[in-house]
Structure 1
Amino acid sequence: MNTATARYLGQLRTEATHVASGNVVQTDAPTDNHGRGEAFSPTDLVSAALGSCMMTIMGIVAERRQLNLVDSTFVVRKHMSAEAPRRIAQIDVTFTLPAALSAADRALLERSAATCPVALSLHPDIKQNLVFTYEQ
């Protein structure tokens, strides 16, 4: 079964539909690359996918250990290369998780995040900078 179908809408926009759910995502070229920046760019989606994948894997581990990560958050910042070819050079992901987590649980969750499928699929030249804060 296909994962997604997509079409080009013109004016540097695409629309992708997730086959299994019917959810739709539009992309737009970023303002620094001829676009209007009115939607995720494809590289924004890659960066957001990294954070989402890491949080999902931490969620799986947390459920197994009966830890509550509900309302945990992450912020993603993408850095594009300054030199050609244009590519993602670095992705910073900052997680905010519950302060009540033990040191052992924190270490386990941090290790699990770094081994998510997206993290392991990205080219090794893309620096993945992970920061974990514990505040909730």
Structure 2
Amino acid sequence: MGNQITTKWLGNMRFESTNPSGHNLFIDAGEENGGKGEGYRPKALMLSGLAGCSGLDVAALIKKMKLDVEDFTIEIDANLTEEHPKYYDKVAMHFHFYGNKLNEKKLQRAVDLSVEKYCGVMEMFRQFAELDIQTHFHKN
């Protein structure tokens, strides 16, 4: 398998999770669920994973295509189901590109390649959520 993560209980509602990168992260529940909010929430972490996965694809393509981008953010708004087990059934993902010399056609191509071909996390989300992906260009 080769994808090993060890997550250790630190008492109360807090955990420490290893990562193959060597950087560990902390997971904790919010105060409303008996935690102290001293770590990431597991479901929200999935959304960061989605943005990070796709973001890395797009960043690599920006570099490869030698595109001029001053700033780039990904905003995700996800809907959680009401019933347990609660999961994300709708995920809106907005790519925002900022700069004076944006090649909109190539940037859209980079986003499409990530969304349709490269991003494995996106493919996992597709199994359980309805995805709405949009690209926005902002001239400074």
The superposition leaves residues 6-55 of structure 1 with CA deviations (integer Å, 9 ceiling, x where unpaired) of 20122222111223x32111112346655444422111111111011111
Distance 1:68 1:3 in 2: 37
Work out whether residues 59 and 69 of structure 1, in 8 Å CA contact, stay in contact via their aligned partners in 2. Answer: no
Q: Which deviations, in whole Å up to 9, do the C-alpha atoms of 1:50-86 show, x marking residues without a partner?
A: 0111111111211211114453112223321112321
SS in 2 for 1:50: helix
Structure 2 residues not aligned, in runs of 5+ = none
Residue 132 of structure 1, CA deviation: 1.7
Question: Separation in 2 of the partners of 1:110 and 1:123?
Answer: 16
Which residue does the alignment assign to 2:13? Answer: 12
Give the number of the structure whose residues are more often strand, by fraction: 1
Identity of aligned residues (%): 21
Superposition misfits of 4+ residues, deviation over 6 angstroms: none
What's the counterpart of residue 23 of structure 1?
Answer: 23
Contact 2:31–2:37, Cα closer than 8 Å, also in 1: yes
Distance 1:93 1:31 in 2: 28
Letter in 2 for 1:86: K
Map 1:1-136 to 2 at 5 A. 1-19=2-20, 21-30=21-30, 35-69=35-69, 71-99=71-99, 100-115=101-116, 116-135=119-138, 136=140
RMSD between superposed Cα atoms in Å: 2.3
The count of residues paired between Structure 1 and Structure 2 equals: 135
Distance 1:36 1:91 in 2: 27
SS at 1:18 equivalent: coil
The code of the aligned residue for 1:41 comes to R
How much has 1:118 moved relative to structure 2?
Answer: 0.6
